Structure 1
Amino acid sequence: MPQEQETIAVPQKSMYSSVISFVWKAFLLGFSLVVLYLVSVEYNFLYLFGASPSLDRLENPRTDQASELYTSDGQLIGKYFEENRSPVPFRKMSPKLINALVATEDVRFYEHSGIDPAAIVSAVYGSLQGDARGASTITQQLAKNLYKTRTDNSQGLLGHIPVADIIISKTKEWLTAIKLEQRYTKDEILAMYLNTVDFGSNSFGIKVASKTFFHTSPDSLKTEQAAVLVGLLKAPTYYSPRYNPKNSTRRRNTVLAQMAKYKYITQAEADSLQKLPLELNYKVESHYEGPATYFRGAVAEYLNEWCKQNGYDLYRDGLKIYTTIDSRMQKYAEEAMEKQMRTLQRRFDNHWKGRNPWVDEDNNEIPGFIEETIKRTAYYHRLKEKYGNDTAAINRELNTPHEMKVFTWDNDSLEKRVVMSPLDSLAYYKHFLHGGMMTMDPFTGHIKAWVGGINFKYFKYDHVKQAHRQPGSTFKPFVYVAAIDNGYSPCDKIVDQRITINYEEKGEKKSWSPTNADWEYTGAPMTLRRAMGKSVNVVTARLTEKIGWETVVKYAHRLGITSPLESVPSIGLGPSDVSVYEMVAAYSTFPNRGFYTKPMFITRIEDRNGNLLHQFVPKQKKVLNTETAFLMMHMLKGGMEEPGGTSQALWEYDLWKNGNQIGGKTGTTSNHSDGWYMGVTKDLVTGVWVGGEDRSIHFRTSQLGEGSKTALPVFGLFMEKLYKDKDLGYTMGPFPKPTVEITKEYNCTTVLPKKVVVDSTAIDSLVNLLNMDTLL
């Protein structure tokens, strides 16, 4: 019989076990996909997700940071920035500020590790209920701000797909936040966050924000002030206390309520603080304010080139630049310039009352001066781009009045609101006189003060280095130094009488007959020292002829004049344009015993961490023998000591104690367009220029327009202030004695003539001094 086959029953899987198996597989698959996604985002798989911050960037985070400019006495005088940011350590932040931030932005900050799951769940639930709210922790916000996780540079191929870009960016923020928490303490994260956020009003970081809105520091913030600043983080413009005070007050009170809710302050404190009015001390830091604005511009020009050559960014890298400027001396120089220019402008306005000051050589107003001048402005070129050849439209714009702010000497703010057309405003500004001044230590080359104009905000043209004007008689010392260095002595004599010099220029025969500024001639021999001190033109011209005008040009260049100089008989009377900057450097050769020292305005540059990047040292060159330099110092004293010396207006100032000696030289161009004074003490050399923006704008008489009346007072006022400040260490006293044997006679006796010859041809010119054909 066949055996019966035994059947074995296989138990069927239960429904429960199948579900469990499916769930596990789904979980593992989902987990694997999440891990794969996170790894792909982290390492930018196939360039789909964009780059994440590298380990180096995480451990060495870099934010744009303003470069800072310091004076030689340690004062911060300016910044160079695109985002005005100056970091401050956590220990210098008020606990009230930290409490306000945590209570408002991330109450579980000290509990989570970069991501707050409870906040995420709450945000998702809120969104489903139609109540959208943020879930980002402070660390996530720092990751977004610090590493720009949502910019085009961090986007991959998938980052350009809507919705996907947000998910990827959020993922990067989460991953970066976790890594930040692993590498930094909570205090360090808070400090980095507060140093990077934008508070509006061009203030980035808590240090600048505290100063901008309350003129205080982060460690001195009051609770209500901290609440205002934390409130700004939600929307800097909408909650601006300056422009939207109601919104700001409401947001401040919300922050105070959060602080009470989480026990950082009591409810009673919150209630009391919420009733306070919004009090600001608001001032936005700008490039146009503060001391040494023109100097900062000149330094920036140099630094931009230095940074380009050395791989730095002046406006982002947080460099620390230490300059030669002394903040106190700079303050005194600016005060002296402002005081004199206020006085001079009133005098100038009264002088031209009822008339426009732009005139030709015959003292007639230049027709169409303003209309032609405006065609050279950037504003006119913009109108040309807008309207093309439609002159009617352009003229309509030029003659349409607008409300505007303009510069004025009438009040302490130096501004006023007016209604003017562009043409009227240009004419208004052309009435102003301008000035430039520089002071330098002749031994080190350190520039100690630099005033490039009367107001940088409204007149950005720098009259120290950028402007070049005729120096008039301040150029005469280059004639005398050339003569003394070639055998002459201060006591040698030349007759003070009319002279005609015949010469050839480019094959053409010419003649030149200079006159003295006062049209008087003694007809007697005059020492070189008295001739320079009294600024006698004909003696200078005769001496120039003797030594050769090419020689004068050579010596001027040797002493540091870099501008082109025309080799003509009148070279000694200053017809070629030069700058205050190079004139001060050239004169500094005399007190420095014949060494030319290149002017220097930076001593060192450091990186944001204080590491030295470059140390600057003086550059000197021996250009005169020591005896000649000493004799020129003696010659320069002639302006004070010789009868009729042109520097004697300095007796009005409190400068004459302890045998103090000052050498100097005035200069005025023939139509009084330019007034100069070069002053030399035992410690410093100072150059001052005063004049109109255009050469056709000037005083009409020498009594008002000569350098002793316009530029010299700036020097006098400045030196008065300098000597009164004992902390500066500048003392009055005589020039140093010679350090070498002096082989030439220089202590000569001045013999005054018994009669003076007045040129009869000068009678008409004395009535109208504007027609003088000489340079004082």
Structure 2
Amino acid sequence: MVKAKKKNNNKGFFKFVKWFWILFTVGALSGVMLFLLASWGVFGELPPYEYLENPQTNLASEIFSSDGETLGKFYLDDNRTPIKFEDLPQNLINALVATEDARFYEHSGIDARGTLRAFAYLGKKGGASTISQQLARQLFIGAREKEKKTQAILQKVKEWVLATRLERQYTKDEIIAMYLNIYDFGYAADGIRSASKIYFGKEPIDLKIEESAMLVGMLKNSSYYNPLRRKELVFNRRNTVLAQMAKYDYITEEEKDSLQALKMEVHFNPENHREGLATYFRMYLQGFMNDWIKKNPKPAVEGERDKWSLYLDGLKIYTTIDSRMQANAEEAVQEHMEKLQTEFFHQNTPDRNKTAPFLDLTKEEVDGILERAMKNSDRWRLMKRQGKSEKDIRNSFTKKTEMTVFDWKSDSHEKDTIMTPMDSIRYYKSFLRTAMMSMEPQTGHVKAWVGGVDYRHFQYDNVYQGARQAGSTFKPFVYAAAIDQLRLSPCYELPDTQYCIEAGKHGNPEPWCPKNSEGKYSGEMYTLKRALANSKNSVTAQLIDRVGPKSVVSIVKNLGITSEIPEVPSIALGTPDLSVYEMVGAYGAFVNQGVYVKPVMVTRIEDKNGTVLYEYVPETKDVLSKEVAYAMVNLLEGVTQGGSGTRLRTTGYDKWRPEYKEIITGYPYEFKNPIAGKTGTTQNQSDGWFMGMVPNLVTGVWVGGDDRSVHFKSITYGQGASMALPIWGLYMRKNYDDKDLGVSDGEFPKPENMSINLDCTKSAEDSNKEKDLDDDLEDLDF
């Protein structure tokens, strides 16, 4: 009986072994077959080997400043800028491996031990996805559909297949870099570089250990582990990552404890088209790049787009903008415009002005302005495209709705409110606008560009798109023509008396008798230098009569101004509409010894691999002799020595309304270095200008309302010296405080053997004798 029992036991044991090996073999063959079927594409098409060699991801085009900073990016859905493995900090790599794949350097794409553990415990003790598998999922497969188990299993198999292919194709370092470059960290932080810049305001290589740990913690699920919305959760996740780093000896227990005790600090810097540095410039650049793309076809490559894409191809755009000077410019605009706007609101309350913010208009005229603004609004255009009737559209403008509007008083410059769309149009009309551009005259490199007070709410770029009456900032072109053609000296004198140009002369249809801004005439003799400093219209009228409008227009065109300018005497007082962009380029020739250099914004464009696609070639033109150009600089220095720009030299404060206790009264500039410049104020104080120059920087500033009827009542606040000059002063003070910028505070370079007399201490009689004009000369029509 015992023998029979033992025999049966042996038989049962061999049967068990037999079936074990059968099942094992079937399982192994099934596994192999599963892999083969997946690799053959039975469960869904897999990318070809050629695609593995060069995985295609959407790459944002990046904008670089002249000092090497990122100004912004152009992207649609993916704000991705890949970086190389060597640009990743070691602490980030350690945190990633310790947390996501501890045996990363030991396996070939699939972690067998981790996979068996996951099967044995049904995933309760962690998953088994390696970094290579996660990369495969991100690159080629997409998110797993967890609710469909069959789908999830088949997708897992495809991940295994692709992971092993990736391991054969790339090094371990390349796989880590690809994975961190591809991951979406939320808030348009696509890839580790964008994430590092957006959450911490720094390059990845500069990340601290605790910062790297936070970002690695987000890899589990960036939408769930959101550092802005779930700080405590992300804090705990960060500390889990630090614990993993200690577990695998990347940091000591003491380091772990001290790092876990640190507060989690996030310095959120969103990267989008409406926020950040140089927003107005970036929108100009978008147009520039679109034009360039149209004119420059992409080299033909099989499987790729036949045109460059600004949003997908990862172009690198190198600009002339200096990020430090740009920041200074934006800060100067913010500081001054907030004060100026407060004063404007004070003067234009409904009890002081029934048609506020519009001045000197009837109700019918105001209604006309609002009607045009309504029909030009996005709301009107959108509803028109939707097929809405005009009655329905108009009704929508009278219904109150929730909206976010611009507000100087809030820290974010925004406030939530309820008002009708028509009321919001009037509300926005009440805000003063501004434009500022700063350029290096010798190279034409534009260093700063501010097109308005806030791009989120005022998207019209007043630097390039906007054109307004230039006022007295146009007068130097008249003086330049007179000095160039008549060889006059800045010391030449003319009387400050009423001067008329008769009808028919210079194409003038009727007599033109301009008045001085104050409406008075002293009868004194004024040197050209003193006349320009005090912006005497009487003297300017005499000069344009002598040289003729045609000569002035010719010089202006040679100085790069492309706006239409009629050949009539009234242009002498600045009636033409010109842009800040044009004016800065033109004034640059005075400092650059008479050579006009077209403003440059883009120096180079490269593809994602660093191949140069475009390199700029300077455009220059000799317009004035060195002597005439220097004489003009000498004239314009007089504006800051004894004219409307003298406040730049003051050691005290300009007077601002004392009732505004929260407002600092004025600006103590105290500049002692040579400065050439010109203020400009148009009729009714609608526009305020200041053009300021030092030897290596020319800057133009304009301030005014969206409509010419939006302006200050008096010249006290409505002149260029009050509206625009303070921005220049604040900007330059900030520039001089940063010695690394190298902004000049020295003398303007003077040509050798200067033949034009600049010494006005000589008697007026001697100076006028040198350049005495024949009476017949006044009758010639130039």
Q: Equivalent of 2:696, from 683, 702, 708?
A: 683
Matching residue of 1:763: none
Moved more, 590-599 or 212-221: 212-221
Alpha-carbon distance in 2 for matches of 1:272, 1:728:
40
Task: Work out which of the residue numbers 202, 205, 210 in structure 1 matches 2:188.
Answer: 202
Count of residues paired in the alignment: 707
Q: Which moved more, 1:276-285 or 1:431-440?
A: 276-285
Q: Deviations over 1:192-225 (max 9, x none)?
A: 2122111222212233334444556656767776
Structure 2 distance, partners of 1:257, 1:711, is 57
Matched letter for residue 134 of structure 2: Q
Instruction: Pick which of 578-587 and 334-343 moved more.
Output: 334-343
- The answer to whether the 8 Å contact 1:446/1:601 transfers is yes
Equivalent residue in structure 2 for 1:711, among 724, 728, 737: 724
* Distance in 1, Cα, partners of 2:433 & 2:584: 18
Pick one of 52, 66, 69 that aligns with 1:75: 69
SS of the aligned residue for 1:521 comes to coil
Cα deviation digits, residues 707-743 of structure 1 (max 9, x gap) = 1221122222333333343333334333322235425
Aligned to 1:299: 285
Q: Aligned equivalents of 1:219 and 1:443: distance in 2?
A: 36
Contact 1:321 1:602 in 2 (8 A): yes
Counterpart residue type for residue 650 of structure 1:
L
Specify whether residues 364 and 549 from structure 1 end up closer, same or farther in structure 2 by C-alpha distance, changes over 3 A only. Answer: farther
Partner amino acid for 1:186?
K
The whole-number CA distance in structure 2 between the counterparts of 1:738 and 1:278 is 60
The 1:552/1:387 distance shift into structure 2, 3 A limit, reads same
Task: Name the residue aligned to 1:735.
Answer: 748
For residues 349-748 of structure 1, the aligned pairs below 5 Å read 349-354=345-350, 355=353, 356-359=355-358, 361=360, 366-368=365-367, 369-370=369-370, 372-386=372-386, 388-389=388-389, 391=391, 394-396=394-396, 398-402=398-402, 404=404, 406-490=405-489, 491-503=491-503, 509-523=509-523, 525-641=525-641, 645-652=643-650, 654-657=669-672, 660-742=673-755, 747=760
Query: What do residues 543-573 of structure 1 show as CA deviations (whole Å, max 9, x unaligned)?
Result: 2233222222121111111111122221111
Distance across 2 between alignment mates of 1:123 and 1:27: 17
Instruction: Give the whole-Å Cα distance in 2 for the aligned partners of 1:740 and 1:363.
Output: 60
In the aligned structure 1, how far is the partner of 2:36 from the partner of 2:88?
41
Cα 1:358/1:262, change in 2 over 3 Å: closer
Identify if the C-alpha distance between structure 1 residues 426 and 397 changes in structure 2 by more than 3 Å, giving closer, same or farther.
closer
TM-score, normalized by length of structure 1?
0.79
Contact kept in structure 2, 1:71 and 1:77, CA below 8 Å: yes
SS for the counterpart of 1:379 is helix
Q: Following the alignment from structure 1 to structure 2, what is the Cα–Cα distance between the partners of residues 487 and 550?
A: 15
1:52–1:172: 8 Å Cα contact kept in structure 2? no
* Distance in 1 between residues matched to 2:33 and 2:214, nearest whole Å: 45
Using the TM superposition, give the Cα deviation of residue 691 of structure 1 relative to its aligned residue in structure 2, in angstroms: 0.7
Cα distance in 1, alignment partners of residues 636 and 256 from structure 2: 71
**For the residues of structure 1 that align with 2:741 and 2:234, how far apart are their CA atoms?**
46
* Partner Cα distance (1:750, 1:69) in 2: 57
Structure 2 distance, partners of 1:517, 1:603, is: 43
AA matched with 2:477 = F
- Distance in 1 between residues matched to 2:358 and 2:204, nearest whole Å: 56
Q: CA RMSD in A?
A: 4.2
Partner Cα distance (1:329, 1:246) in 2 = 38
The change in CA–CA distance for 1:252 and 1:585 in structure 2 (over 3 A counts) is closer
Task: Note the C-alpha offset of 1:577.
Answer: 1.0
Query: Aligned letter for 1:84?
Result: N
Gaps of 5+ in 2: 1-18, 299-307, 651-667, 766-782
- Contact 2:506-2:549 within 8 A present in 1 as well: no
In 1, are the aligned partners of 2:584 and 2:700 still within 8 Å (CA)? Answer: yes
Relative distance call for 1:680 and 1:284 in structure 2 (3 A) is closer
Deviations 1:258-298 (A, max 9, x none): 77888888999999999998764444333333332222332
The answer to whether structure 1 residue 332 and structure 2 residue 331 are counterparts is no
* Cα distance in structure 1, aligned partners of 2:762 and 2:641: 11
Counterpart CA distance in 2 for 1:736 and 1:216 is 41
Could you tell me whether the CA contact under 8 Å between 2:697 and 2:743 is conserved in 1?
Answer: no
The 5-angstrom pairing of residues 174-193 of structure 1 reads 174-193=160-179
Deviation, 1:378, is 0.5
- Uncovered stretches (5+) of structure 1, i.e. residues with no partner: 1-18, 152-161, 753-776
Equivalent residue number for residue 342 of structure 1: 338
Deviation of 1:456 after TM superposition, in Å, equals: 2.2
Secondary structure class of the residue paired with 1:512 = coil
3-state DSSP of counterpart to 1:180: helix
- TM-score, length of structure 2 as denominator length: 0.78
For each residue in 1:319-374, what CA deviation from the matched residue of structure 2 results, as whole angstroms up to 9, or x when unmatched? 44333223333233223222221221122122223334443655878432445423
Aligned-partner Cα distance in 2 for 1:279–1:105: 23
SS at structure 1 position matched to 2:227: coil
Q: Secondary structure at the match of 2:603?
A: strand
Per the alignment, residue 138 of structure 1 pairs with 131
Q: Which amino acid aligns with 2:730?
A: L
Q: Tell me the secondary structure at the aligned position of residue 486 of structure 1.
A: helix
Give 1:55-94 correspondences, 5 Å limit: 55=50, 57-61=51-55, 63-82=57-76, 83-90=78-85, 93=88
Q: Which one-letter code corresponds to 1:288 in the other structure?
A: R
Secondary structure of the structure 2 residue equivalent to 1:553: helix
Please say if residues 357 and 698 of structure 1, whose CA atoms lie closer than 8 Å, have aligned partners that are also in contact.
no
